[in-house]
């Protein structure tokens, strides 16, 4: 039983993300990545605390066995405690490596993050290293809203129905048509220090197919609107698009999740303006 428990501890430490049933393909927003990190870390801490309690119990068993001169129970307490202690140390190294991997992938997917000061607002990326970018200063949140509506209308043109927003923690998906996309506005910390900026986001789904034609139709529609497919970002079945020229948009992507839930997932994020 102790050997099995040690195996469970080590497995949970080596696969910290799996221990919280975390699906990277379903984590398209900063809140989901940070939530996955927190859940994985808390899971490791809980397992370590339980292991400490079990080691304390084994120590008591060893002491009582020594007093009663029971060699069998004394050996059991010492050997089991040593196994558990070694597993906890190994779990610490393994979980540290797993969490570091999640942090690295989070940084690659989300980009550099700078928390907003006490004035409040959501923590989003700082787009430059503090230097003002004239190309970005030319855009406003109204420009981002117009670009985003063009992308939504182009993506939905060949589907002839309603799209649905992606479920976020605590929220239910909302159906909408191409003329009324539920674009969200968040406070963000721009590279320029003059107060907070605004970032527009929208994540929505459309029905997919098993041959990838739905995804290609969306990419073709975006290309006609001036947003060409870029190199794959390393995530399976996901493509990103960039505008030929300056743009108020920061991230544009389409993820074909047909094998998971039968949908295309579009992620649209503006720059911090």
Residue 115 placed within a domain: no
94 and 172 fall within a common domain: no
Answer with the residue of higher pLDDT: 125 or 191.
191
Q: What's the mean pLDDT when you consider all of the chain? A: 74
pLDDT at 60 over 80: yes
Q: Determine the Cα–Cα distance for residues 190 and 25; give it in Å rounded to an integer.
A: 28
Number of alpha helices (DSSP H) and beta strands (DSSP E) in the chain: 6, 8
Answer with the residue of higher pLDDT: 22 or 259.
259
Residue 174 placed within a domain: yes
Q: Quick check: 210 and 249 in contact, CB under 8 A?
A: no
Q: Can you tell me the mean pLDDT for 201-207?
A: 91
The pLDDT, as a whole number, for residue 153 is 92
**Does pTM surpass 0.75?**
no
Q: Can you tell me the mean pLDDT for 90-109?
A: 66
Beta-carbon contacts of 54 under 8 Å, excluding residues fewer than 6 positions away, are 5, 84
Residue 118 placed within a domain: no
Residue 211 placed within a domain: yes
pLDDT at 20 over 60: no
- Angle between helices 30-68 and 2-14 in degrees, nearest 10: 160
Q: Can you tell me the mean pLDDT for 53-68?
A: 81
Using one digit for the tens of pLDDT, what is the confidence trace for 113-140?
A: 444 443 334 433 433 333 444 555 578 8
Q: Determine the Cα–Cα distance for residues 273 and 262; give it in Å rounded to an integer.
A: 34
Most confident stretch, 55-69, 113-127, 214-228: 214-228
Provide the number of structural domains found in the chain: 2
Q: What is the span of the domain harbouring residue 95? A: 2-110
Q: Determine the Cα–Cα distance for residues 169 and 66; give it in Å rounded to an integer.
A: 53
Q: What are the CA-CA distances from residue 204 to residues 15, 42, 64, 223 (Å)?
A: 30, 30, 62, 19
Q: Quick check: 17 and 55 in contact, CB under 8 A?
A: no
Using one digit for the tens of pLDDT, what is the confidence trace for 38-59?
A: 777 777 777 777 777 877 887 8
149 and 249 fall within a common domain: yes
Q: Quick check: 202 and 268 in contact, CB under 8 A?
A: yes
Residue 215 placed within a domain: yes
152 and 211 fall within a common domain: yes
């Amino acid at each position: 039983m102790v050997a099995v428990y040690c195996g469970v501890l080590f497995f949970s430490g080596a696969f910290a993300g799996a221990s919280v049933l975390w699906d990277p393909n379903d984590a398209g927003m900063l809140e989901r990545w940070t939530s996955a990190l927190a859940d994985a870390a808390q899971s490791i801490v809980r397992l370590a605390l339980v292991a400490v309690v079990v080691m304390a119990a084994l120590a008591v068993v060893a002491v009582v066995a020594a007093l009663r001169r029971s060699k069998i129970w004394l050996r059991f307490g010492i050997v089991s405690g040593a196994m558990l202690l070694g597993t906890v140390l190994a779990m610490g190294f393994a979980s540290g490596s797993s969490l570091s991997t999640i942090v690295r992938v989070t940084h690659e997917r989300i980009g550099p993050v700078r928390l907003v000061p006490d004035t409040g607002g959501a923590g989003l990326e700082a787009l430059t290293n503090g230097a003002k970018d004239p190309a970005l200063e030319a855009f406003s949140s109204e420009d981002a809203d117009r670009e985003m509506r063009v992308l939504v209308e182009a993506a939905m043109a060949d589907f002839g129905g309603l799209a649905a927003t992606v479920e976020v923690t605590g929220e239910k998906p909302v159906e909408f048509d191409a003329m009324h996309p539920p674009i969200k506005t968040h406070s963000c910390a721009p590279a320029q220090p003059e107060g907070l900026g605004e970032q527009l986001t929208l994540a929505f789904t459309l029905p997919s197919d098993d041959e990838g034609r739905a995804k290609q139709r969306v990419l073709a529609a975006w290309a006609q609107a001036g947003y060409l497919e870029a190199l794959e970002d390393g995530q399976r079945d996901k493509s990103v698009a960039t505008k030929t020229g300056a743009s108020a948009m920061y991230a544009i992507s389409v993820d074909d999740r047909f094998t998971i839930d039968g949908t295309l997932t579009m992620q649209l994020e503006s720059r911090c303006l």
